[in-house]
Amino acid sequence: MAVVTLDGIGRNYGAGVAVLSEISLTLEAGEFCFLTGAPGAGKTTLLNIIALAAEPSAGRLTLFETDIAAVDRTARAALRRRIGIVFQDLRLLDHLSARDNIALPLHVTGMADAEIREHVGEVASWLGIGGRIELSPAALSPDERQRVAIARAIVSRPDLLLADEPTSHMDGESALTLMRAFEQLSRVGTTVLIATSDLAVTRQSQHPRIHLEAGRLTGPENGHPR
Amino acid sequence: MNPRAFIRTPLDLALPRDATGLLLISTLALIGYLATLGGLMLVLLGDDLRAWNRSLNDSLTLQIPAETSAARIEMSLALLRQTPGIAELRLLDQAETARLLERWLGPAAAPDTLPIPRLIDIRTEPGAAVDLPDLRQKLAAITPGAQLDDHRPALAIHRRAATRLAILIALGIATVAAFALVLSAAMTKLRLLLHRGAVELLHLIGAADADLAWPVQLAALRQSLVGGAIGAVAALLTVLVIGHLMPLDATPSVGDWRLWGVALAVIVVTGAGAMSAARLAVLRQLARMP
C-alpha cells in the first residue's frame, strides 16, 4: 500500500518564491528512506506538507491512499493521528513532565490512563530515558530532550514516522542506536522518512536517500522511492 | 462520562494556566455584579409598581374641611355609600390623620393645635367607572370646600417613569451581557496566542478542532461561573444590606426566592454565554490552521 504519494507538489512563499517544485514521490508501507539536502533545500517544508502542517501551492498529496484535497478537517485530524512527527525544534512543553509530553498523542486518541502509562513506560525504556520521564524537559540534557521528542512521535505506533534532523543533538553512538530503533519500527510496518543533513548517519545506512537541491528532487540513491 | 473529565481534560493540561483566567474571572465578577444589580432592581421596581397599583389604582380620597359638622360628614358618607362603583369607605379618625401628616409637618401636627381636615378613604370596585364630576358636584353641595382626590393620573405618571427606568435597566443588562461575550472571546484569543506552540502541537498530532475547543471552552465555563457567582452574590448582599439599612415598603429579604433566582440566572447565563463565545473564538482561530 502506498502510504505517501506526492504528485507534482510545489510550494511557494511570498511573491511566488518557489521553495519546492515538481516533487513526485511514493513511499510504500514499511519503507525506510532518508531525505537529504543542504540547509534551505526544502526538507522541512516537504516534511511539513506530508505532515499536513502546510498546504502545497501546487500538486496532489495522497496519504494512506486518501486524496488530501478531498477530505474535511475532521478526517485530516484522523490522518494526522496516524503520523508521528519529530520536529526539528522538538516542540516539547516545558510545563509538563517528559512523561506527559510523551503521552500527548495517546490522550488525543482518548486512550485510558492505565494504558497510556503502560505505553509511555515501554517507549521511554526502549529509548533509554525510562528513569528520567518524571522530570520537566527543561531539566533534561539535549540528547534526552531529543529522545523525549522521538518517544512522543512513536508512542502511538504511527503508520508513518516523519523525523526532521532527529539526531541533531546526539553524539555518533546515540545517533546509530536511534537509527536502529527506527529500523525496527520500519520492520514492523511503519513507513519512516528522515530528513537529515548528518552524513555520518546516512553513510552507514543502506536505506535509500532522496536528495533535495534548491527545492527539486535530484533522484534517489540506493534505489526504491519513485 | 467521568465527572473529572468535565472539570479538566488531558488536553486542558497541555494549555497551562495563565493570567487570562484571573482577568476573565475578575472582569466577569464585575459584569455579574452589575447584571445582578440590574435584575434585582427590575424585581424590586416591579414590586413597587404592584404595591402602588394596589394602594392607589382603585382608591379616592375625600378631604373635608376641619370645621365641617358631624352631620354634614355623615351626609357625605351616605351619598358615597349610594354611589354606584364605590365598594368601601373608611372615615379616618383625627389621630390617624395627624399621624399621616406628621411625615410632612412633624409632631406639631396635633389635632388640638392645627385645623386638620377629615379624610375619607374610598375604595372603588376594580375597573368601575365612577362619575367623578357628578360626585364632586353633589359633595360640594353637601359640604362646601370638600375636595375629592383621584390618584390615578399621578399613578400613570409614576408607571410611565418606572417603565422607562425598567427599559434603561434592561438595556444596561443587555450591554454588559454583550460585553461579557466579547470579553470571553477576546480572552480566548489571547490565551490561544499565549499558548500558540501548544495549540499548534496538539493540532499537528491529530487533535480534532472540537477536541481542542473542548478544554478551552471548559476553562471559560469554569472561570465565568466563578466570576459570575462572585458578582451575583456580591450584588445580592449589596441589595440586602441596603434594604436593611434603608427599609421601604417593598424591602428585599433573604427568603425571597426571586432574588436568588435572579442571581442564579446571571450565573448560568454568564457561564453559558462565555462558554459559547470561547468555543466560537477557538474554532475560528483553529480554522486558520491547515
Do residues B36 and B262 make contact, with C-beta atoms less than 8 angstroms apart?
yes
Chain B residues with beta carbon closer than 8 angstroms to that of A91: 197, 200-201
Same domain, B110 and B242: no
- Find the range with the poorest average confidence among A68-72, A73-77, A110-114, B152-156: B152-156
| Chain A residue nearest residue B209, CA to CA | A74
The yes-or-no verdict on residue B271 having pLDDT over 60 is: yes
- pLDDT for the residue numbered B229: 95
CB–CB contact A52 B13 (8 Å): no
Give the gap in angstroms from C-alpha A103 to the nearest C-alpha of chain B.
10
3 state DSSP class of A67: strand
DSSP, res A54: S
The yes-or-no verdict on residue B141 having pLDDT over 90 is: no
CB–CB contact B201 A91 (8 Å): yes
Please tell me if residue B11 touches chain A, with a CB cutoff of 8 Å. Answer: yes
Task: Domain of residue B243: give its range.
Answer: 8-53+156-286
Please report which confidence band the pLDDT of residue A40 belongs to, taking 50, 70 and 90 as the band edges. confident
Same domain, B178 and B276: yes
Do residues A187 and A200 make contact, with C-beta atoms less than 8 angstroms apart?
no
As a whole number, mean pLDDT of residues B120-147 equals 84
CB–CB contact A52 B204 (8 Å): yes
CB–CB contact B207 A77 (8 Å): yes
Same domain, B91 and B118: yes
Query: Which of the two residues, A224 and A58, has the higher pLDDT score?
Result: A58
Give the gap in angstroms from C-alpha A74 to the nearest C-alpha of chain B.
6
Domain count within chain B? 2
Same domain, B268 and B180: yes
Q: Measuring CA to CA, which residue among B27, B29, B30 is closest to residue B226? A: B29
Ordered structural domains, chain A, with CATH: 1-82+159-226 (3.40.50.300), 89-157 (no CATH)
Task: Kindly state whether residue B3 falls inside one of the protein's structural domains.
Answer: no
CB–CB contact A77 B14 (8 Å): no
CB–CB contact A105 B205 (8 Å): yes
CB–CB contact A95 B197 (8 Å): no
Query: Which tens digit of pLDDT belongs to each residue from B53-77?
Result: 777 777 888 888 888 888 888 888 8
Query: Which tens digit of pLDDT belongs to each residue from B30-49?
Result: 999 999 999 998 988 888 88
Give the gap in angstroms from C-alpha A100 to the nearest C-alpha of chain B.
9
Query: Which tens digit of pLDDT belongs to each residue from A156-166?
Result: 999 999 999 88
Interface with B, mutate which of A108, A113, A150, A161 (most B CBs under 10 A): A108
Q: Return d(Cα A60, Cα B204) in angstroms, integer.
A: 20
Whole-model pTM? Answer: 0.75
The yes-or-no verdict on residue A35 having pLDDT over 70 is: yes
Nearest to B207 among A53, A54, A108 (CB): A108
Task: Kindly state whether residue B228 falls inside one of the protein's structural domains.
Answer: yes
How much of chain B exceeds pLDDT 90, in percent?
A: 30
Task: Kindly state whether residue B151 falls inside one of the protein's structural domains.
Answer: no
Please report which confidence band the pLDDT of residue A44 belongs to, taking 50, 70 and 90 as the band edges. very high
- pLDDT for the residue numbered B10: 62
- pLDDT for the residue numbered B8: 59
- Find the range with the poorest average confidence among A101-115, B15-29, B51-65, B107-121: B107-121
Please report which confidence band the pLDDT of residue A41 belongs to, taking 50, 70 and 90 as the band edges. confident
- pLDDT for the residue numbered B152: 77
Query: Which of the two residues, B47 and B250, has the higher pLDDT score?
Result: B47
Please report which confidence band the pLDDT of residue A223 belongs to, taking 50, 70 and 90 as the band edges. very low
Please report which confidence band the pLDDT of residue A172 belongs to, taking 50, 70 and 90 as the band edges. confident
The yes-or-no verdict on residue A131 having pLDDT over 80 is: yes
As a whole number, mean pLDDT of residues B222-230 equals 94
Do residues B275 and B220 make contact, with C-beta atoms less than 8 angstroms apart?
yes
Task: Kindly state whether residue B2 falls inside one of the protein's structural domains.
Answer: no
Please tell me if residue B205 touches chain A, with a CB cutoff of 8 Å. Answer: yes
Chain A residues with beta carbon closer than 8 angstroms to that of B197: 91, 93
Same domain, B177 and B204: yes
Same domain, B180 and B273: yes
Task: Kindly state whether residue B60 falls inside one of the protein's structural domains.
Answer: no
Do residues A217 and A35 make contact, with C-beta atoms less than 8 angstroms apart?
no
CB–CB contact A107 B290 (8 Å): no
| Chain A residue nearest residue B10, CA to CA | A107
What ipTM is given for this predicted complex? 0.91
Same domain, B179 and B276: yes
- pLDDT for the residue numbered B1: 43
Residues 6 or more apart whose Cβ sits within 8 Å of residue A11: A18, A19, A20, A42, A45, A49, A54, A56, A57, A58, A215
Task: Kindly state whether residue B180 falls inside one of the protein's structural domains.
Answer: yes
The yes-or-no verdict on residue B250 having pLDDT over 70 is: no
Same domain, B23 and B75: no
Dmax of chain B from CA atoms? 99
Query: Which of the two residues, B113 and B74, has the higher pLDDT score?
Result: B74
Query: Which of the two residues, B205 and B49, has the higher pLDDT score?
Result: B205
Chains A & B: contacts with CB separation below 8 Å: 61
Beta-strand relationship, A160-164 and A191-195: parallel
Interface with A, mutate which of B204, B212, B214, B289 (most A CBs under 10 A): B204
The yes-or-no verdict on residue B251 having pLDDT over 80 is: no
Q: Return d(Cα A181, Cα B119) in angstroms, integer.
A: 104
CB–CB contact A108 B206 (8 Å): yes
The yes-or-no verdict on residue B238 having pLDDT over 70 is: yes
How much of chain B exceeds pLDDT 70, in percent?
A: 91
Query: Which of the two residues, A87 and B53, has the higher pLDDT score?
Result: A87
Interface with B, mutate which of A89, A102, A107 (most B CBs under 10 A): A107
Give the gap in angstroms from C-alpha B189 to the nearest C-alpha of chain A.
20
Q: Return d(Cα A51, Cα A82) in angstroms, integer.
A: 10
- pLDDT for the residue numbered B157: 85
Same domain, B173 and B267: yes
Same domain, B248 and B183: yes
Nearest to B206 among A80, A93, A96 (CB): A80
Of B80, B111, B145, which residue constitutes the final position of a domain?
B145
Tell me the pLDDT of chain A averaged across its residues: 89
Q: Which residues of A touch B (CB under 8 A)?
A: 51-55, 73-74, 77-83, 85, 91, 93, 95-96, 100, 103-105, 107-109, 152
Of B145, B168, B203, which residue constitutes the final position of a domain?
B145
Same domain, B127 and B176: no
Task: Kindly state whether residue B129 falls inside one of the protein's structural domains.
Answer: yes
Task: Kindly state whether residue B59 falls inside one of the protein's structural domains.
Answer: no
Alpha helices in B53-92 (DSSP H): 70-82
Chain A residues with beta carbon closer than 8 angstroms to that of B210: 74
Of B92, B112, B145, which residue constitutes the final position of a domain?
B145
Same domain, B33 and B110: no
Element (H, E) at B21: helix B19-52
CB–CB contact A54 B198 (8 Å): no
Chain B residues with beta carbon closer than 8 angstroms to that of A74: 208-210
